[in-house]
Copies of this chain bind each other. A is one copy, B any other.
């Protein structure tokens, strides 16, 4: 397949495909003249990459996980760790969502005077939520 066909089928732009190749995430099967030729397998690989991204892996991590093998064997422990990380993120986001909803509905004259809003502010300020802001690993 030509790069444009891979792009069309996968929804990943040609420039991104070249970028991914450069990073070792995918590889072309050869060249026809100067043009890359891809195996259809690259589509599956791209799905795995999308999956990894969606789960919060960085491209570097994904490259490490997928390796160079044709049939990537995914590290189950790593998956569980990521699942746990996601779980933590979900919990924090849920607290945030509830806080925001309350703040929106709250009748206190100013949010600054609403005890619940203040508690939320405290959460944010004391860094309970910081992991959510700056988390590299689940940096979606």
Interface residues of A (CB under 8 A from B): 10-11, 44, 46-48, 50-51, 53-56, 71-74, 76-77, 79-80, 82-83, 86-87, 89-90, 92-94, 96-97, 99-101, 103-105, 110-112, 120-125, 127, 129-130, 132-133, 135, 138-140
Contact = CB atoms under 8 A, between A and B. Distances in A.
Contacts of A139: 140
Nearest to A43: B125
Given A47-B122, A54-B96, A54-B124, 18 more contacts: A11-B125, A47-B125, A50-B121, A50-B130, A51-B120, A53-B124, A54-B130, A55-B96, A55-B100, A71-B112, A72-B112, A74-B103, A80-B104, A82-B100, A83-B97, A83-B104, A86-B96, A90-B93
A76 B55 contact: no
What is the total number of copies of this protein in its complex?
Answer: 2
Contacts of A10: 125
Contacts of A44: 112, 121
Nearest 3 Cβ contacts at the A-B interface: A51-B124, A54-B129, A83-B100
A4 B126 CA distance: 18
A139 B140 CA distance: 6
A97 B94 CA distance: 14
B54 A133 contact: yes
A111 B110 CA distance: 52
Contact of A93 (B89, B120, B122, B129): B89
